Amino acid sequence: MNGALSSLMVRLRSNLRLTARVFAASLAANLLGLASSFYTMLVLNRYVSHGVDSTLAALTIGVVASIAFEHLFRHVRLRIAGRIGRADHERMATGAFGILLTARSGASSVQGDAARREAMRAPDQIDAAFGSANLATLFDLPFALCFVLVVALISWPLALICVVFTLLSIGAGLLAQADMRKVGRDLAQAGADAQGLVTAAIVGRDAATLFGGAKPLLGDWQRAAQTLRSLRERMSMHQGRAQSVGQSLQALQGVAVIAVGAILVVRGELDVGSLIGVNLLVGRALAPFTRLAQIGESVAMARQAQARLEQFARTPVEPSTGTMLPRYAGNLEFRDLTYTPPGGVTPLLRRLTLSVPAGNILVLKGRNGSGKTTLLRLIAGLSEPQEGAVLADGVDIRKFAPSWWRQQIGYLPQEPTFLTMTIRDNLLLANPRLSEAELHAVLHRAGAERTVGDCAQGLDTPLRNFGHELPIGHRRRLALARALAVGGRLILLDEPTDGLDSEGTAIVYRTLIELARTGHTVVIASHDPRILQGASLVLDLDQPHDTAVARSPAGVA
């Protein structure tokens, strides 16, 4: 529980003013909570003995007012307690999402989608564990001593009984927390595994449907669901057992107080009114510890969430600063470049060395899986080599500020995706400086004007599902427009004619001719014969990686 409690202490220390107000409201509410016990004592000892109706009326009005104010203070406490963790939750949630967005290449692949999803849920789980109701319970714990002290002033033997049962309740709560800790850990892992299956079913639905994967996935899901249900039942059993123990201890405490108190009454050391009032007080003293067992599950889950969040926080992220050249001329070089995919056994690229002068067109060819897309990602800084370097104008790109380097690159991935916003916004994110006329010019160069024109809202058409609702040809044209919108000297194209009709491929050829004439450096992964024909350099990744076939710049035919 240390991680969760440390998170709680951080919240309290960072919100000292709110913590003090919650403490003050708890003090007032608990002091007013004494009124009902004193009311019982006074009614039984004074009104019943003397029968003065005005006394009963005064006592009743007073206790009703006390109960009303106690309710008011508890309500105010809940509202204030709800504000204690708000800034910390926002900080944790924002920090986790920032790490998700800026994780260095390879780090996210090692962790896996399910682990990242669970890490993103962690701030909410911690916040739920220390929500206003649970915080109120924790703030009530020290005030249980107030009730014990009041009991001690009335009868020390009954106070001793209260102390003994309070200690027993604390011990039972700690044992329950220990039992729930391991179950919570297993439950978190089972939840991550189940989320991984959900992701597999969503992403791989077509493959599962067409190629017989539905039945195995369903079997895995049934086993995962059974495991989750079993663990939840175990957690529920532990929680129910803790509640049952707490209720039993409370009942036994009442029996002990009545039994010992009855002896004291017979001996004349205590009156009946005080006995009944004390019974109410010891019940109030034990109640916070009984409720503590009820929040054990959420605290155990918060501990696991805190551990996941701390592990996720150690994820290496991209630097926010770095070198920025006054102007990038467009020179590119691979120097002893070696790359092995995460979890891979053999390098995909091994000691690749090649120089690409500014203004040249380099075409990457090779069989599927030979490393064409990987090399483009290495150039873009989306992956990092284990050995060697990619250099731009003689500088290792890892020394550049990532934001500056990506402003020098127009990248068309093989499977383009878009953010869930309008077409206009997606293009302006690539280059916020574009005017309306420049936006339309970029769309014209990429042959995407008709695609946008066919949309009812034009440039203001929202793209949903990462743009996958669009046909692949339209999506690739918009992605080419986005790549050109950046305005960088280096253009990276991954199979630019793949999925395009004759009109679309003609537009790509025209764009490549334009880029070559304007002195851009272009790196293309392609098997298209016309693109290969117009290349300045061809790198065959099926051959030894220190070989590149040089050609005279012929332009794309």
pLDDT exceeding 90 applies to what percent of the chain?
A: 23
Terminal Cα-to-Cα distance of the chain (whole angstroms):
69
Do residues 344 and 475 share a domain? yes
The pLDDT tens digits for 362-374 are 999 988 888 899 9
pLDDT of residue 138: 84
* CA nearest to 279, candidates 180, 159, 169: 159
Residue count (the chain):
557
Give just the sign of the alpha carbon dihedral 387, 492, 538, 529.
Answer: positive
Q: What CATH number corresponds to the domain at position 428?
A: 3.40.50.300
Q: CA 36 to CA 276: how far, in whole Å?
A: 11
The pLDDT tens digits for 79-113 are 888 888 777 788 888 888 888 888 876 655 445 66
Owning domain of residue 515: 332-550
Q: What CATH number corresponds to the domain at position 56?
A: 1.20.1560.10
Q: CA 172 to CA 163: how far, in whole Å?
A: 14
Q: Give a yes or no: residue 322 inside a domain.
A: no
The total number of structural domains in the chain stands at 2
Q: Give a yes or no: residue 443 inside a domain.
A: yes
Do residues 239 and 338 share a domain? no
Do residues 254 and 345 share a domain? no
Q: Give a yes or no: residue 120 inside a domain.
A: yes
Per the prediction, the chain carries an average pLDDT of 84
Q: Give a yes or no: residue 205 inside a domain.
A: yes
Do residues 161 and 221 share a domain? yes
Q: Which residue has the higher pLDDT, 310 or 437?
A: 437
**Do the beta carbons of residue 108 and residue 116 sit within 8 Å?**
yes
Whether residue 550 has pLDDT greater than 60: no
> According to the per-residue pLDDT averaged within each range, which of 159-163, 275-279, 376-380, 503-507 is highest?
376-380
The pLDDT tens digits for 294-348 are 676 677 777 778 888 888 888 888 888 889 999 999 999 999 999 988 777 788 8
